[in-house]
Amino acid sequence: MVTINKERFLSTLSCPTAGWLLAHTPPVKLSRYDHFLMEQELEVHKKAQALYPQGILVGGNDISAEKHTEHLIRNPNTQVLFEAVFMVYEGITRADIIKRQRVGWWLYKIKSSVNNKDEYLDDLAYTAMIALQAGLKIIGCSLLLLSPNYRLGLPVKDLFQEISLTLETFQKAKEFWLEYDRVLHILQRTTKPHPELRWECQNCLYFPACMGQGIENSIFDLPQLNHTKFCHFREQDIQTIDQIPEDFILTHTQQRIREAIKEGRPYLDRNGLTKALEQISFPLYFLDFETVSTAIPLYPDITPRARVPFQYSLHVVGGEGEILTHHEYLADPRRDCRKELVEHLIRHCDTQGTILCFNDYEKQVIQECSEIYPERSTLLEALLERLINLSTIMKQHYYHPGFHGSYSIKDVLAVLVPSMSYEDMEVSNGRDAMSVFADMATGKLDKIQEREYRNHLLKYCKLDTLAMVKIWEQLVGMVRETDLQFQSK
Task: Indicate whether 65 and 31 sit together in one domain.
Answer: yes
Question: pLDDT digits over 57-86, tens only?
Answer: 998 898 999 999 999 999 999 999 999 999
Cα dist. 377→61, 328, 345, 346, 382 in Å?
Answer: 56, 21, 13, 11, 8
Residue 194 resides in a domain: no
Bridge partners of 288?
313
Last residue of some domain: 263, 282, 298? 263
The Cα–Cα gap between 419 and 404 comes to 19
143 by DSSP, 3-state: which?
strand
Pairing verdict, β 323-330 and 281-282: unpaired
**Average pLDDT, integer, range 395-417:** 95
Q: What confidence score (pLDDT) does residue 153 get?
A: 93
Q: Which residues contact 175 (CB under 8 A, 6 or more apart)?
A: 125
Question: Residue 396 contacts by C-beta under 8 Å, 6 or more apart in sequence?
Answer: 253, 269, 272, 276
Residue 7's pLDDT band (cuts 50, 70, 90): very high
What is the per-residue pLDDT for 1?
74
Residue 203: inside a domain: no
In a domain, 201, yes or no: no
Phi, psi for 406 (deg, rounded to 5): -105, 135
Residues with Cβ < 8 Å from 460, sequence gap 6 or more?
422, 425, 427, 428, 429, 432, 433
For residue 292, is pLDDT > 80?
yes
Give the pairing of strands 91-100 and 105-110: antiparallel
What is the number of structural domains in the chain? 3
Q: How confident is the model at residue 489 (pLDDT cuts 50, 70, 90)?
A: very low
Q: 467 with 413: CB under 8 angstroms? A: yes
Which is it for strands 56-57 and 267-268: parallel, antiparallel or unpaired?
unpaired
Q: How many CA atoms lie within 13 A of 5 on its CB side?
A: 8
What is the CATH number for 108? 3.90.320
What's the confidence (pLDDT) of residue 480? Answer: 81
Same domain as 444, residue 338: yes
Per-chain mean pLDDT for the chain? 95
For 165-215, write each residue's pLDDT tens digit: 999 999 999 999 999 999 999 999 999 999 999 999 999 999 999 999 989
For 17-59, strand residue ranges (E) read: 56-57
Distance CA 436, CA 379 (A): 31
* Average pLDDT of the segment spanning 271-300: 97
Extract the runs of DSSP E, i.e. beta strands, from 131-260.
138-146, 160-164
Tell how strand 281-282 and strand 487-488 pair up: parallel
Asked whether residue 479 falls in the same domain as residue 431, the answer is yes
Distance of CA 288 to the CA centre of its chain: 18
- What's the whole-number mean pLDDT along residues 149-158? 96
- Examine the domain organization and report whether 396 and 334 are in the same domain: yes
* 241 and 155 share one domain: no
Tens-place pLDDT, residues 301-357: 999 999 999 999 999 999 999 999 999 999 999 999 999 999 999 999 999 999 999
Tell whether 165 and 100 lie within a shared domain. Answer: yes
Position 21 in a domain: yes
Does residue 135 have a pLDDT over 50? Answer: yes
Are the CB atoms for 78 and 56 separated by under 8 Å?
A: yes
**Could you read off the pLDDT of 355-386 as tens digits, one per residue?**
999 999 999 999 999 999 999 999 999 999 99
Average pLDDT over residues 419-439: 96
Does residue 487 surpass a pLDDT of 60?
Answer: no
SS3 81: strand
Q: Do 283 and 250 share a structural domain?
A: no
Distance in angstroms (rounded) separating the CA atoms of residues 383 and 329: 17
Which pLDDT score, from 0 to 100, does residue 2 have?
Answer: 85
Confidence category of residue 488, pLDDT binned at 50, 70, 90: very low
pLDDT band (50, 70, 90) for residue 37 = very high
Residue 316 covered by a domain: yes
206 located within any domain: no
CA distances from 272 to 92, 191, 395, 398 (A): 58, 53, 11, 9
Residue 293 sits in a domain of what CATH number? 3.30.420.10
Nearest to 195 by CA among 423, 33, 16, 315: 16
Q: Classify residue 74: in a domain, yes or no.
A: yes
C-alpha count within 13 angstroms, C-beta hemisphere, residue 74: 6
Residues 237 and 295 in one domain: no
Statement: residue 486 has pLDDT above 80: no
Alpha helices in 188-240 (DSSP H): 227-235
Q: What is the mean pLDDT of residues 217-230?
A: 94
Give domain status of residue 208, yes or no. no
Distance, CA of 251 to CA of 229 (rounded, Å):
11
Q: Which of 79, 88, 115 is nearest to 9 (CA)?
A: 88
Q: What is the Cα–Cα distance from 175 to 118, expressed in whole angstroms?
A: 15
| pLDDT of 485 higher than 90 | no
Q: Facing residues of 355 across strands? A: 285, 387
Burial of 464 per CB tally in 10 Å (0-12, 13-18, 19+): buried
Task: Report pLDDT digits (tens) over 85-126.
Answer: 999 989 999 999 999 999 999 999 999 999 999 999 999 999
Beta partners for 110? Answer: 144
Same domain, 279 and 258: no
Same-domain status, 166 and 227: no
Phi and psi torsions of 480, nearest 5°: -60, -35
Does residue 157 sit in the same domain as residue 25?
yes
Mark whether 259 and 280 lie in a shared domain: no
According to the model, what pLDDT value does residue 481 have? 58
Tell me the C-alpha distance between 53 and 56, whole Å.
Answer: 9
**DSSP for residue 352:** S
Residue span of the structural domain in which 143 resides: 6-187
